[in-house]
Amino acid sequence: MRKIRFAALLAAVIIILPLLLSACGEDGIAGGTKTLYVYNWGEYISDGSEGCLDSNAAFEEWYFETYGERVKVNYSTFSSNESLYAKLSSGSVSYDVVVPSDYMIERLIAEDLLAPLNYDNIPEIINILPEFWGDASVHSDHDPGNVYSVPYLYGMIGIIYNTTMVDADDPSLGSWKLMWDERHAGNILQFNNSRDAFGSAQYFLGLDVNSDSEADWRKALEKLKEQKPILQGYVMDEIYNKMENGSAGIAAYYAGDYLAMYENNSDLEFFYPEEGTNLYVDAMCIPKSSKNKELAERYINFMLMEEPAIANAEYTYYASPNRLVVESEEYIDYMGEIKEDAYEKMYATDSVKTSTYENLSGEKLILINQLWEELKSDIEISAGIYAICGVIIAVLLSLGIYFGVRKRIRDNY
Amino acid sequence: MKFLQRSYIVLIFLLLYVPIIVLVAFSFNEAGSLAEYSGFSLVWYEELFADEEALTSLRNSLVLAVSSSLIATVIGTFAALGLHRMKAKWLKGTVNTVTNIPMMNPDIVTGVSMMLLFVAFAGILGTSDFLGFGTMLIAHVTFNLPYVILSVMPRFKALDVSLSEAAQDLGCTPSQAFFKVELPEIVPGIVSGLMLGFTMSLDDFVISHFVSSPDFQTLPLYVYNQTAHNVKFSMYALSALIVVTILIILLVVNFAGSVGKKGGAK
Amino acid sequence: MKKGSLFQRLAAAPHILWAIMFIVFPMIFVLFFAFTDADGNFSFSNITSLSQYGHVFVLSIAFALIATVVCLIIGYPLAYFMSKQSPRAQKVLMVLVMLPMWCNLLIRTYALMALLDNGGLLNSLLESLGLDKIQIVGTNFGVILGMIYDFLPYMVLPIFTAMTKLDPKFIEASQDLGCTTWQTMTRVIMPLTASGVISGVTMVFVPSISTFYISQKLGAGKIDLVGDTIERLFQNPSTYNVGAAVSLIMMVLIIISVGIMNRFSDDKTPSDSKGGKGGGLVP
């Protein structure tokens, strides 16, 4: 009887497991409906929250109305270009649309991971401003002729500061110097990723952020080491909470994100450093491994249309390369309501000295990694720590000896 | 003296609980901030239940915990049986030591070592994307095993061998003796091993961090992601819920347990 | 023991296979990766490159040491006082000790950080009282505080369990023989609870030395301990090897420390050594 019950339990387990396992598998493609796999940055598309447009849902609706077919958008996010690269180069999941940054697109093209776009399916491309598409585009370094990518959103890195902690007449304002200013020690946040952190030092020192010379990178490293003691920390997205609740007063970050923070703390101000800063362009591409190229191209086309483009720009606060957005009254008003000079600030590319990151060679990347490790392991142990530990070890040793000796005396007794 | 003792206890516990209490209290804060309290509101709980990502990660955690603890319990119970009966002392000792390695190692080493294993295998097999539910499951079973064996072994040791011998004298085959006489004695150990494995799996963060892929997120991984980004205030609601749930479970286990199976071992 | 059936003798086989595959092999791979370079050739370069992390190791050990000692100093009296309460109260207190242990470490650490951050509740309170703000997050003190806060329950529980298992007759006997309270404490109670102390110390020291979340949150990403280093090195395939080397050294360090500690404990009850969490749920 027990044996039967036991066997039954075992059988149940063996049966349930595969069911559980399969239940966790990817949502089965219900025969017929095509699924479009989109891989984008987090919080980088208008998602329908707080009454704004849900761009993905809108696409599904529009597609059904225009082509009579039901499609499903499977939307997932990544948090860094490097993790996107790892996923694409591993060839595991096949994505249909990905949105890397400029230098990553360069690398993906070089490694033949992207498919050339068929612009017959993307007529709305004419909406993109000439600065961002075509020979004159800022993007032509990375994707000449825009064979593989369509710009999505862009921006510049700038310095955010809290006006209650930094005076309006502070001499360091307007320059990268603010991030190295000892008077603000303990209040400064730096990028927790090697490219942007080195970039900040390189811009400050007037070095080329794509420099081939190892000596240049080492100079940047020295500058970063100089900065480390006065920093509050190295952060990425933790920066939102820290700047918004006033835990830190100075940080470099991406322009659109500043506006997001400003919405929660109006003490925050922003400027582009005079020595120069980074301009980044994120663009939509189709990986070679995509199984739904035409559908992907239509998705890209949809995102270039006025309504989704405006919605995406409004949701993310990032700058749009789309003429329909930049010239839209509604959009201009919207930005004006967030902050008077928001529109000006976001679209100031003419008046700011910028450069873009380029893809670096494999060796360079390894070097940068090593230098980053050097920076991170550059620790000064204060005398206090040594003192406390010295005391502890001394006490432990003496206790150990005391008891050891006592035991020996007892044993010999 | 008693008063001093009591106040020390109260003081330490208070300090221990302040962050947790603040977390729970502020999860009802309408302002969605930890700096000022504006009013009582359940809005963050609503947001939490509307958050697909959070709910999916909860479901994933539960599925993983159930499956990994079940598998670990099956393998572990049989292992305990086999080890108990084992004659070769050297083998028994070695297996015991090896089994305890995940328990003694810090989580990060276990996580990293498993990741390297998977990386190496993937390299040999030529595939690249190998991390996912499968690798998570394997890792969770692996760190559950020592706890299961730890829970079940003492029961085996406490078995009265004469009962089994008596059963066999009365005509049972050795397996019948096992199933009819010994197994019921062991069940409480199996159950506690199961529960232990379930909880450890649910709670694990570090090991999961190294062997997971973004497609399969568990609850702790979801929390980690949240805290690394702009923390959605619904996460505080989630944390408060977790705290309350654990409290209830602990109260039930510890206070109802005195009447249940632990107290009245059959 | 009667000879078991074939079934019984083979029962441990699946586990042995599993253990070889998923416990032994991973360790071998750590060794392998630690002693090879990125191209797969045998090399000591990873080990030698560890010299740049010397300070990181020292800092991690220092932090873990301080945190463990403080936890012991706070936790031992706490466990002792707790054991003096009524059985009813003891049960409640035990639940209160276990609750933080079972609540996700991430949540507790994050809650602490949010509380202590420059713009957090504590500093807001200080400001409203007209006092200066104190910076805790991003300092060494903050990280150590985080370790103490997170791991104190792990110190208290084994010691408390050991205290409750103490036979009161020993204490009565020592008092009958004329010992003062202090002498009873040092000569009777402490030695008898030593195994609990060893448990507690291990359960605080090992996670403290290998954590990365606590240093990330309470150190604001500025204070990198061994755990942070390992985590960072494993984000990029080109640095897996160095990461493996760091992990190896850390493992060796821990084995040595635990070995030293076990020297001081007379009874080796394996069920006690990591019994804290397990022992908590399984009374």
Nearest-CA distance B249 → chain C (Å)? 10
CB contact under 8 A, A20 and B176: no
Task: Choose the closest CB to B102 out of C14, C23, C234.
Answer: C23
Measured distance CA(B27)–CA(C251) in Å, rounded: 40
CB contact under 8 A, B231 and A241: yes
Q: Side chain identity at A410, as an amino acid letter? A: R
Between A and B, how many CB-CB pairs are < 8 A? 63
Q: Alpha-carbon torsion A141, A145, A148, A151, what sign?
A: positive
| Higher-confidence position of A120 and A8 | A120
Residues near B55 by beta carbon (within 8 Å), at least 6 away in sequence: B49
CB contact under 8 A, C221 and A186: no
pLDDT at B213: 77
From chain A, the residues in CB contact with C239 under 8 A are 369, 373
CB contact under 8 A, C240 and B165: no
Q: Over pLDDT 90: what percentage of chain C?
A: 27
Interface predicted TM-score (ipTM): 0.82
pLDDT at B171: 80
Least confident stretch, A321-330, B83-92, C67-76, C262-271 = C262-271
Cβ(A385)–Cβ(C225) under 8 Å?
A: no
- Name the CATH superfamily housing domain B59-224: MetI-like (1.10.3720.10)
Confidence of residue C267 (pLDDT cuts 50, 70, 90): very low
A183-223 confidence digits (pLDDT tens): 999 899 999 888 899 999 999 999 999 998 999 999 999 99
pLDDT at A105: 92
Chains contacting A with at least 3 CB pairs below 8 Å? B, C
From chain B, the residues in CB contact with A40 under 8 A are none
A6-28 confidence digits (pLDDT tens): 555 555 555 555 455 444 444 44
SS (H, E, C) chain A: CHHHHHHHHHHHHHHHHHHHHHHCCCCCCCCCCEEEEEEEECCCCCECHHHCCEHHHHHHHHHHHHHCCCEEEEEEEECCHHHHHHHHHHCCCCCCEECCEHHHHHHHHHCCCECCCCHHHCHHHHHECCCCCCCCCHHHHCCHHHCCEEEEEEEEEEEEEECCCCCCCCCCCCCHHHHHCHHHCCCEEEECCHHHHHHHHHHHHCCCCCCCCHHHHHHHHHHHHHHHHHEEEEECCCHHHHHHCCCCCEEEEEHHHHHHHHHHCCCEEEECCCCCEEEEEEEEECECCCCCHHHHHHHHHHHCCHHHHHHHHHHHCCECCEHHHHCCHHHHHHHHHHCCCHHHHHCCCCCCCEECCCCCCHHHHHHHHHHHHHHHCCCCCCHHHHHHHHHHHHHHHHHHHHHHHHHHHHHHC
What are the backbone dihedrals phi and psi of residue A323, each rounded to the nearest 5 degrees, phi first?
Answer: -60, -40
Cβ(A125)–Cβ(A304) under 8 Å?
A: yes
CA–centroid distance for A411 within its chain: 66
CB contact under 8 A, B192 and C282: yes
| Model confidence at A29: pLDDT above 50 | no
Task: Choose the closest CB to C238 out of A228, A235, A369.
Answer: A369
CB contact under 8 A, A237 and B229: yes
CB contact under 8 A, C219 and A373: no
CB contact under 8 A, A246 and C118: yes
Q: Which of A24, A40, A98 to mutate: most B Cβ within 10 Å?
A: A24
Q: If you average pLDDT over residues A147-176, what whole number do you get?
A: 92
Q: Which of B101, B75, B194 is nearest to C270 (CA)?
A: B101
From chain C, the residues in CB contact with B150 under 8 A are 271, 274, 278
pLDDT at A32: 64
| Higher-confidence position of A58 and C238 | A58
Assign B29 to helix, strand or coil. strand
From chain B, the residues in CB contact with C101 under 8 A are none
| Model confidence at C178: pLDDT above 90 | no
User: Domain locations in chain B?
Assistant: 59-224
Q: Over pLDDT 70: what percentage of chain A?
A: 91
| Model confidence at A227: pLDDT above 90 | yes
Nearest-CA distance C56 → chain B (Å)? 16
pLDDT at B141: 94
Burial class, C259, CB count within 10 angstroms (exposed 0-12 / middle 13-18 / buried 19+): exposed
| Model confidence at C270: pLDDT above 90 | no
Does residue C279 sit at the A interface (CB-CB below 8 Å)?
Answer: no
User: Of chain C residues 115-134, which have a CB less than 8 A from chain A?
Assistant: 117-120
- Reading the block at residue C92, the tokens are 């409640």
User: Of chain C residues 71-130, which have a CB less than 8 A from chain B?
Assistant: 74, 77-78, 81-82, 84-85, 91, 93-96, 98-100, 102-108, 110-112, 114-115, 119-121, 124
- Reading the block at residue C54, the tokens are 């010397």
Nearest-CA distance A242 → chain C (Å)? 7
- Reading the block at residue A203, the tokens are 């811009």
pLDDT at A27: 43
Task: Choose the closest CB to C100 out of B20, B174, B253.
Answer: B20
Q: Which of C25, C269, C16 is nearest to B76 (CA)?
A: C16
Measured distance CA(B250)–CA(A347) in Å, rounded: 57
DSSP state of C3: P
Measured distance CA(A81)–CA(A366) in Å, rounded: 16
Does residue C45 sit at the A interface (CB-CB below 8 Å)?
Answer: no
Residues near C226 by beta carbon (within 8 Å), at least 6 away in sequence: C53, C56, C57, C60, C209, C210, C246, C250
CB contact under 8 A, B74 and A13: yes
pLDDT at C7: 67
CB contact under 8 A, A369 and C236: yes
CB contact under 8 A, B13 and C96: yes
Strand-pair category, A188-191 with A250-254: parallel
What domains does chain A contain, in order, with CATH numbers?
24-153+282-365 (3.40.190.10), 156-279 (3.40.190.10)
| Model confidence at C110: pLDDT above 60 | yes
Nearest-CA distance B28 → chain C (Å)? 15
Q: Over pLDDT 70: what percentage of chain C?
A: 89
A393-411 confidence digits (pLDDT tens): 898 888 888 877 877 888 8
- Reading the block at residue C37, the tokens are 């370079």
CB contact under 8 A, A21 and B175: no
Strand-pair category, A354-355 with A268-271: unpaired
| Model confidence at A70: pLDDT above 80 | yes
Average pLDDT of every residue of chain A: 86
Confidence of residue A130 (pLDDT cuts 50, 70, 90): confident
- DSSP β-bridge partners for residue A128: A322
pLDDT at A9: 59
User: Of chain B residues 86-125, which have a CB less than 8 A from chain A?
Assistant: none
What are the backbone dihedrals phi and psi of residue A312, each rounded to the nearest 5 degrees, phi first?
Answer: -65, -40
| Model confidence at A310: pLDDT above 90 | yes
Nearest-CA distance B200 → chain C (Å)? 9
Q: If you average pLDDT over residues A24-50, what whole number do you get?
A: 72
Q: Which of C198, C222, C264 to mutate: most A Cβ within 10 Å?
A: C222
Residues near B220 by beta carbon (within 8 Å), at least 6 away in sequence: B61, B203, B204, B205, B208, C104, C106
| Model confidence at C140: pLDDT above 80 | yes
What domains does chain C contain, in order, with CATH numbers?
54-228+271-281 (1.10.3720.10)
Cβ(B114)–Cβ(B211) under 8 Å?
A: yes
From chain C, the residues in CB contact with B35 under 8 A are 119-121, 124
Closest residue in B to C40 (Cα) is: B120
| Higher-confidence position of C103 and C6 | C103
- Reading the block at residue A189, the tokens are 């946040």
CB atoms within 10 A of CB A192: 21
Task: Choose the closest CB to B216 out of A24, A87, A91.
Answer: A24
Nearest-CA distance C177 → chain B (Å)? 23
Q: If you average pLDDT over residues C11-15, what whole number do you get?
A: 83
Q: Over pLDDT 70: what percentage of chain B?
A: 92
Chains contacting C with at least 3 CB pairs below 8 Å? A, B
CB contact under 8 A, A245 and C117: yes
Residues near C269 by beta carbon (within 8 Å), at least 6 away in sequence: C195
Does residue B71 sit at the A interface (CB-CB below 8 Å)?
Answer: yes
Q: Which of A164, A187, A245, A247 to mutate: most C Cβ within 10 Å?
A: A247
From chain B, the residues in CB contact with C3 under 8 A are 174
Measured distance CA(A270)–CA(B148) in Å, rounded: 56
pLDDT-flagged residues of chain B (< 70): 32-36, 126-130, 256-266
From chain A, the residues in CB contact with C138 under 8 A are 186, 232-233
User: Of chain B residues 167-186, which have a CB less than 8 A from chain A?
Assistant: 175-176, 179-180, 183-184
Nearest-CA distance C273 → chain B (Å)? 9
Q: If you average pLDDT over residues C73-89, what whole number do you get?
A: 89
First to last CA, chain A: 63
Q: If you average pLDDT over residues C260-266, what whole number do you get?
A: 67
From chain A, the residues in CB contact with C232 under 8 A are 373, 376
